[in-house]
């Protein structure tokens, strides 16, 4: 498989003691400070790991296999998001009721993430990813065949729990890959998720335009995801032994920096949740497009986000995370505001595309920072606990987006309700300073 990653514009050097965070090439940092340099592999899966996977630390990374997992996760998310209008129409749900139903995936994710963070710290991210991929694939087929609102809510809660578990485990594994590669890769991994979202939403739009119902479509995606995902997870590299002590399974209060990173992620995922759940509804109900055209709104969002994330590692290495996030937040807020103020198919697609570009690197940077040594402040060398804390806080934004926007849309309009996403996006530049390196 061809490599998924491009070299950064300026070769970054690892900051001592801060895995996954990067100084400019002008800083004098000895190669001995790169995490894991010179360390011998202690435990790895030889099967499926090519020589090209051995980079940075000399350990197998399995980054291509993890990239496939991110693609599949995004495809599942995009497929479901684009078929929400079908489910709404099939069950006759008004915007307020739909918003309450769409609360279920976020509730399932938020309830699962803290437990998965401790599980990752105990058994490792690879084992958890292996279990979550088939569970997520199976859960995708359920919502479209539910005959009424109560079973729909239950199916969506299961879907959200599986997705939340995979989110924490895959990002924790991504932090390990980043340490082994020796340069930023988290934005690129999330770019794979966005490519999957684009493919999933684009296929859903084509399928919907041909009049194929969501049950057949989502079941087919579920089967394909399960088969491809099972093959991919077998090629994930095993995290090395001796990385550090396994932390106790008890609860621990997150540090102040983790809480601020979570708030940054909260704003980003509130906006992403608004785009995922309401972009197609906005174009369908406000602009008046066809169902097939409405489904392309999330595809435009995903395409722009994928492009931003695929070049994000290079941009971050050149400009730094704080400047990138602050600029991106302003761009995203302006794009969505234009889409809402000038309702048309063209401005809607362009506006959601700009929003996707603006949100591209925010969550990857928050998760990467959570997995670094200064954020965890503990012996959790996997970063699983801190990532779980940031992800849980962040997903509260995804949790609140559907119900708050749905409730406000019921009382006012979809356009007014989506203004909440503009506000959340505008707060991102204010919070961007948390990504600055602690001294």
Distance CA 182, CA 376 (A): 19
Q: How many domains does the chain have?
A: 1
For residue 179, is it within any domain?
Answer: yes
Cβ atoms of 12 and 315 closer than 8 Å: no
Q: Does residue 384 register a pLDDT over 80?
A: no
For residue 14, is it within any domain?
Answer: no
For residue 415, is it within any domain?
Answer: yes
For residue 69, is it within any domain?
Answer: yes
For residue 19, is it within any domain?
Answer: no
**Mode of pairing for the β-strands spanning 13-15 and 18-23:** antiparallel
For the CA atoms of 27, 28, 32, 36, the dihedral, rounded to the nearest 10 degrees, stands at 0
Cβ atoms of 401 and 422 closer than 8 Å: no
The string of pLDDT tens digits covering residues 165-213 is 999 899 888 888 887 887 778 888 888 887 888 789 889 989 988 889 9
SS3 state of residue 23: strand
Distance CA 365, CA 319 (A): 13
Identify the pLDDT of residue 323. 93
Identify the pLDDT of residue 64. 87
Rg (CA), the chain: 20
Q: Does residue 15 register a pLDDT over 90?
A: no
Q: pTM (2 decimals)?
A: 0.72
Burial of 212 (0-12, 13-18, 19+ CB in 10 A): middle
For residue 42, is it within any domain?
Answer: no
Cβ atoms of 63 and 5 closer than 8 Å: yes
Distances (CA, A) of 384 to 82, 303, 329, 360: 31, 29, 27, 22
What kind and span of H or E run contains 248? none
What kind and span of H or E run contains 177? helix 149-181
Identify the pLDDT of residue 396. 85
- Structural domain boundaries, residue 426: 60-237+254-435
Q: Which of 96, 100, 317, 296 is nearest to 201 (CA)?
A: 296
CATH, residue 355:
1.20.1250.20
For residue 215, is it within any domain?
Answer: yes
């Amino acid at each position: 498989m061809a490599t998924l990653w491009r070299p950064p514009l300026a070769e970054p050097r690892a900051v001592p003691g801060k895995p996954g965070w990067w100084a400019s090439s002008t800083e004098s940092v000895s190669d001995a400070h790169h995490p894991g340099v010179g360390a011998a592999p202690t435990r790895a899966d030889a099967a499926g790991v090519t020589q090209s996977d051995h980079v940075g630390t000399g350990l197998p990374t399995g980054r291509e296999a993890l990239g496939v997992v991110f693609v599949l996760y995004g495809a599942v998310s995009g497929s479901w998001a684009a078929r929400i209008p079908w489910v709404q129409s099939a069950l006759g749900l008004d915007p307020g009721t739909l918003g309450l139903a769409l609360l279920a995936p976020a509730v399932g994710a938020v309830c699962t993430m803290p437990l998965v963070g401790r599980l990752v710290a105990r058994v490792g991210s690879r084992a958890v990813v292996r279990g979550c991929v088939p569970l997520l694939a199976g859960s995708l087929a359920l919502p479209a065949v539910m005959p009424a609102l109560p079973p729909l809510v239950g199916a969506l809660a299961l879907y959200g729990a599986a997705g939340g578990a995979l989110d924490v485990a895959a990002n924790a594994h991504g932090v390990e890959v980043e340490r082994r590669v020796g340069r930023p890769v988290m934005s690129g991994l999330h770019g794979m998720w966005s490519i999957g979202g684009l493919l999933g939403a684009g296929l859903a739009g084509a399928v919907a335009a041909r009049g194929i119902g969501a049950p057949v479509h989502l079941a087919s995606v579920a089967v394909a995801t399960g088969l491809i995902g099972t093959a991919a997870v077998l090629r994930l590299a095993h995290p090395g032994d001796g990385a550090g002590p396994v932390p106790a399974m008890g609860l621990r209060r997150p540090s102040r920096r983790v809480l601020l990173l979570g708030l940054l992620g909260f704003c980003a995922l509130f906006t992403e949740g608004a785009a995922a759940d309401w972009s197609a509804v906005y174009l369908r109900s406000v602009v008046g497009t066809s169902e097939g055209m409405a489904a392309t709104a999330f595809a435009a969002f995903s395409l722009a986000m994928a492009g931003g994330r695929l070049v994000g590692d290079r941009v971050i290495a050149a400009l730094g995370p704080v400047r990138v996030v602050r600029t991106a937040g302003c761009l995203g807020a302006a794009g969505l505001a234009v889409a809402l103020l000038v309702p048309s198919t063209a401005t809607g697609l362009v506006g959601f595309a700009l929003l996707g570009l603006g949100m591209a690197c925010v969550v990857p940077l928050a998760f990467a920072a959570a997995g670094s040594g200064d954020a965890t402040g503990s012996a959790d060398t996997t970063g699983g606990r801190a990532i779980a804390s940031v992800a849980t806080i962040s997903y509260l934004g995804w949790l609140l987006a559907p119900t708050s926007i749905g409730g406000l849309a019921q009382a006012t309009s979809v356009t007014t309700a989506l203004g909440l996403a503009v506000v959340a996006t505008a707060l991102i530049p204010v919070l961007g300073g948390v990504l600055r390196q602690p001294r």
